[in-house]
Amino acid sequence: MATTLRSLLLTATGSLAVLGAVLAMRASAATGGSVLARGVELEVHGIPALGQEAFAGSWGRAFAGPSGGEDDGDWADPDGVRAFVSLGGRRLRARVAAPVSWEATSRFDVRRLRLNPRAGQPLLVTGTVTTGVRWRPSGPVSASVLAAPGSVTVLGRPVEAGTTVIPATGAQLGYPGVGSAVLTVVRTDVRRTAPRAEAGMTLAISGRMLDASGGLVHDGPLAEVTLGGTGVHCAGAGVTPRPAPSPASDFAPSLAPFSEPAPAATPAPVPFLGPAATPAPAPFPGPAATPAPVPFLGPAATPAPVPFWAPAAIPGPAATPASSAGSSGPVTAPTPVPAAAPAPVESLLTALAAPAGCARPPA
């Protein structure tokens, strides 16, 4: 009974913890939140051996804050990303309709991306890439990345999620001192719903470059590009702060400009693992053995009574014999018999030792 009650209490406690976490997140969304959608984010590594200068910037931004509203995007390019990238079908949207929904979407295609103007072929070309996130207190968080199979290409080769190795030449890449190269492209489609909703497509491109004589010119990263980085940031105590960014899978540069202060850290709820297992009951050994009855040997023997020796009776006077008929002699008086002397102590002890009913020994 006690074990069953304990299991019920553990179940109730775990359920309350999960319910509390859900209510806290929904309450946090009601207190304020922001959404952000970006177009392209590009980072080019500086490689002196290739004559490549470092660059970092973003192009396209839509933002909606806690006050609500909708933003259809701003395609101003203060960073100069357009010197590297050309886009088509550009569309961004950020919308906050508190407390009903928070959502952000990004949609466009990459017509051309080159790391330097000397490149004889675009490094990256894509079909339509659509990303989006949505948070509604009445339903689950969603994060999506959509691109038709084979529509994302590097030097004309299809690149799907994962790692793709592509042979290249210095002329294709625009590096005059490179004879041949091998590119490694890692594509990551981010669909994250916790601790915050994020979506986007990231491509990390590295290469091993050799000169005409086979000497190594460069072996390492070339560039990273993120397409359609979108995110929902719910302010309040119910959301865990975002962890530190990791390469090719995160959007820390994109989401950094949020105007809201970073929320306080809240410990993640303990996952409910179900009721505690009830231990198996100890086996019942059966009724205790009844001890064998002690046999009845009959009543205890009664000790023989010690005989009581009364004092010897003093004989009375002898009866006068009847006179014979016709007797003429005088009647003689009987001689008195003296009383018997008390028995000595030894005689009494001997008598006490004698069995019951035995006659008293003579003195």
3-state SS assignment for residue 322: coil
Asked if the structure places residue 97 within a domain, the reply is: yes
| Structural domains of the chain, count | 1
Asked if the structure places residue 342 within a domain, the reply is: no
Of the two residues 251 and 306, the one the predictor is more confident about is: 306
**Chain center to CA of 277:** 15
Q: Supply the pLDDT for residue 273.
A: 52
pLDDT tens readout for residues 92-146 = 999 999 888 899 999 999 999 999 999 999 999 999 999 999 988 888 889 999 9
pLDDT tens readout for residues 14-53 = 555 544 444 444 444 444 589 999 999 999 999 999 999 9
Range of the domain at 44: 2-255
Q: Supply the pLDDT for residue 86.
A: 97
Asked if the structure places residue 268 within a domain, the reply is: no
Does residue 351 register a pLDDT over 50? no
Tally Cβ neighbours within 10 Å of residue 175. Answer: 27
On the question of a cis peptide bond just before residue 344, with omega within 30 degrees of 0, the verdict is no
Rounded-to-integer distance, Cα 224 and Cα 187, Å: 10
Rounded-to-integer distance, Cα 108 and Cα 85, Å: 12
Mean pLDDT confidence for 327-333: 44
Asked if the structure places residue 362 within a domain, the reply is: no
Does residue 72 register a pLDDT over 80? yes
Q: Supply the pLDDT for residue 136.
A: 86
Asked if the structure places residue 151 within a domain, the reply is: yes
Rounded-to-integer distance, Cα 253 and Cα 58, Å: 9
Asked if the structure places residue 205 within a domain, the reply is: yes
Q: Are 269 and 21 in contact (CB under 8 A)?
A: yes
Mean pLDDT confidence for 304-317: 47
Q: Supply the pLDDT for residue 330.
A: 46
pLDDT band at 337 (very low <50, low <70, confident <90, very high): very low
Q: Are 146 and 130 in contact (CB under 8 A)?
A: yes
pLDDT tens readout for residues 211-246 = 999 999 999 999 999 999 999 986 542 333 333 333
Residue burial 248-279, b: 16+ Cβ < 10 Å; e: rest: bbbbebbbeebeeeebeebeebeebeeeeeee
Average pLDDT over the chain reads: 73
Asked if the structure places residue 78 within a domain, the reply is: yes
Asked if the structure places residue 24 within a domain, the reply is: yes
CA distances, 16 to each of 3, 20, 24, 212, 272 (Å): 20, 6, 12, 68, 9
